[in-house]
Amino acid sequence: MIDTRNAILKAAIILFAEQGYEGVSMRNIADAVSISAPALYNHFKDKQSLYVAAIAEAFENKSELLLQALTGQSEPLVRLENFVSRLCKILHEDPDFRRLMQRELLDGDEKRLRYLAQKVFGSSFQSLMDLLIELNPECDAHSLAVIIIGMVQKPFELNPLDRFFPGSHRKHSNPDYVTGQVMGVLSSYLGKTA
């Protein structure tokens, strides 16, 4: 029973990442796991509950890992670098997570976006804002947090296109390289060095 549930969630994550919420049916997921549609409904009452469970599974530990990076005992700028590094590695190493995030932003379903912002990433986002205020009490912490996440996310999202840009190099998709680039910009903005 647990194995079937896990198989359903893994198949759902891949399908939702590839095709988006609207592009996937319960029948598609049942077929991917080689079970009947009624058997699928024994595990999940509807597509929305399956989707929420798949999101929770895909994002499992991601928010906690980001929160740990932000709340350690290190100096504030080191914690910020730890956060940027951890987010880079998550986006690089888990393409299904990255695609699900992209899909959610593209689909724009308010209920699901609110769930992600409040239930999945709310604590880590608040901790990021708190850290930014600690680094610079005068900053617009919300806006800067969104910009930081965007600076980290975009190189990985643009990777399929980036490789055709003039001057492209393999290192541009390396998480450590991206971390260094982002931290260079942030250190300059914040007037701080690690």
Contact 20, 41 (CB under 8 A): no
Q: What is the mean pLDDT of the chain?
A: 90
Tell me, rounded to whole angstroms, the distance of Cα 57 from its chain centroid. 12
For 61-108, how does the pLDDT look when each residue is reduced to its tens digit (9 = 90+)?
788 889 899 987 889 999 999 999 999 999 999 888 888 888 888 877
Contact 194, 78 (CB under 8 A): yes
Distance between CA atoms of residues 114 and 18, nearest Å: 21
Residues of each domain in the chain carrying CATH 1.10.10.60? 2-57
Residues of each domain in the chain carrying CATH 1.10.357? 59-190
pLDDT at 133: 95
- CATH class of the structural domain 2-57: mainly alpha
Asked if the model's pLDDT at residue 193 lies above 80, the reply is no
Three-state helix/strand/coil letters over 48-110: HHHHHHHHHHHCCCHHHHHHHHHCCCCCHHHHHHHHHHHHHHHHHHCHHHHHHHHHHHHHCCH
Neighbours of 105 (CB within 10 A): 12
Asked if the model's pLDDT at residue 1 lies above 60, the reply is no
Pick the CATH number of 59-190 from 1.25.40, 1.10.155, 1.10.357, 1.20.5: 1.10.357
